Amino acid sequence: MTKGELNLLHRYLDGAITPEELESLEDLLRTNAEARATLRSLATVDAKWQQLAADEAVAISSNRVAAPRRSGRAIPMWLTLSAIAASLIVGALGWFHSPEERAVERGIARVIRIDGEGQAGKDRVVVDAADLFAGDELTMQQGLIELAFRETGVHVIATAPLRMKLDSDQRVSLHEGQVKLVVPPQGVGFVVDTAQRKFVDLGTSFVVTASPKGSEVLVLDGQISVDEHDGTSEDLMHEGEFARFDRNGKLKKRTPSRLSRALPELSITATKLGDGSLRGVVLGYDSSTAIAKENLRDDVIGQELLPLIHSEFRNRAYLEAFKQGEPVSFRGIAGAFHEFPDRTGLTPYSREGGWMTWYHGQVLPPRPGRYRFWGYADNHLLVAIDGKPVFEGSRRDSPFKELGIPRTDNPSLPCLIAPAGFACSEWVELSGDSVRLDLLFGEVGGNITSGLLLIEREGDTYEETFWGQPKWPLFLTEAPEEDEVTEFERLISHLEEKTMGSFLISEDAIWKVHHADEND
């Protein structure tokens, strides 16, 4: 590997990588087996070296003389600094605790919560906040357990029936059950070992299922390496990909592209307008228009709509460059929108240039209070209230990032689309009077598009999925009709079974249209 390639790996592990460098790293890991192996090795060395420094610091703070341990290879400076930092932290902790407290052995992981009864081995019952040690075999007949590994920060939620062994702070062996993992940069290289394959993390969130019939893996975010038990790297899997292996290890199913392709699409008519409908327009480029793109990822339509956003959605002159479909009503943003241009009269249009839907009108919040939006989209999602953008749930390469809209990413929540995870806005204080709503949703190019937009009211309580995600209400501006409810229930079932996500249909959360724009 070149010096530049190695530097990419180091910057990734340090958490200092830029979005542009991350794209280069993803391309490198996709095509270079040596890079994947090196990243796993560096991540493992990093964790082990920090553990070594911690062990020696504890020994010194306890007035024990520890002979210096030596390695056969030179340790990079960035690992040395990590070790020094770890030793200072652990040493400081040792000075403030009594010798009896320092002598207590710490586990490699700690239980965050447990719902049900579990055991570590034959005799030890697992409870909240319990330490788990290398070699512990967790078993549960029903419920779930949530835990975090101390050194690597790897977060795990496992559901019963469960049989899982904690081999080390970098590996678990899953014999039965389902585990979801969220792995931070310092945990890269973490392994989930099943009877059929080893699934090696490369900085991601993924779900592994094991049963007597075989094993399955779903990559929610980032990428993993699928390895044979002899250490041979068999393949690299990316965000949204799924694979199933039978009990003999034979690959039975592999989706070669995003699982968002399989998301259900609402079949109801998007152009069904009513007196209470929030109205919109679909924008695209005429099929004869030459689209100036240097590569397929260039986001022309998002860039050209920035002036409309800067004008607080007042200056419609910027729309003259676009072809427009039929007037559309807002039916919520949920699921796939692969056929949306066909269903809204935009076709024929330039697929290369993408499309955007702009919904707008006056709406009444359900009640006064503080609200925030949750969601994601592939590619564009933006919500503005009274002309001011308050939520941006687009992919990381969207021009909407230039607007600097405050956003919190939640990679621990299931998400097939956004690499940074499920996004949420800051809280927005509303009096209960009508507000102007502008909503942009669309695709940079092609027709593989999906998204989800939910709303949360501060102080309200919501049922949670077994993965711990609250079922926030779908953002709607009118109550769904019977056929729409059926469509939404089908989508919820798909999300809960395939991506461990969900949402709620609640009439108490509907933002009713006060009046649509007179110019629509």
Higher-confidence residue of 96 and 34: namely: 34
* Res 260 pLDDT > 70: no
Instruction: Supply the pTM of this predicted model.
Output: 0.62
120 token code pair = 């570590």
**What is the rounded CA–CA span in Å between residue 329 and residue 348?**
21
Within 8 A by CB and 6+ apart from 90, the residues are 53, 54, 57, 58, 61
* Pairing of β 422-424 and β 323-329: unpaired
CATH code: domain 109-257 is 2.60.120.1440
pLDDT in tens, 20-78: 787 788 778 767 777 776 776 565 444 444 444 444 444 444 443 333 332 332 333 33
* Res 150 pLDDT > 90: no
CB atoms under 10 Å from CB of 344, counted, come to: 23
Per-residue pLDDT, averaged over 421-443, amounts to 93
pLDDT in tens, 279-333: 999 999 998 877 766 655 678 899 999 999 999 999 999 898 899 999 999 999 9
Ranges of each domain in the chain: 3-102, 109-257, 262-515
* Res 496 pLDDT > 90: no
* The predicted structure's pLDDT at residue 452: 92
Tokens 């007179």, residue located: 518
Average pLDDT along the chain: 80
Q: Which CATH number fits domain 262-515: 3.30.310, 1.10.150, 3.40.50, 2.60.120?
A: 2.60.120
Strands (E), 286-333: 323-329
345 token code pair = 């009269």
Higher-confidence residue of 353 and 238: namely: 353
pLDDT confidence bin for 420, thresholds 50/70/90:
low
**What is the rounded CA–CA span in Å between residue 273 and residue 271?**
6
What is the SS3 assignment for 335?
Answer: strand
Per-residue pLDDT, averaged over 330-341, amounts to 90
Residue type, 78: W
pLDDT confidence bin for 358, thresholds 50/70/90:
very high
Strands (E), 188-268: 191-193, 198-201, 205-211, 214-221, 223-227, 233-238, 242-246, 251-254
pLDDT confidence bin for 261, thresholds 50/70/90:
low
Report which listed range, 98-112, 216-230, 333-347, 363-377, is most confident.
363-377
Termini Cα distance of the chain: 58
Per-residue pLDDT, averaged over 145-155, amounts to 87
Lowest mean pLDDT among 66-80, 103-117, 154-168, 487-501: 66-80
520 token code pair = 């629509």
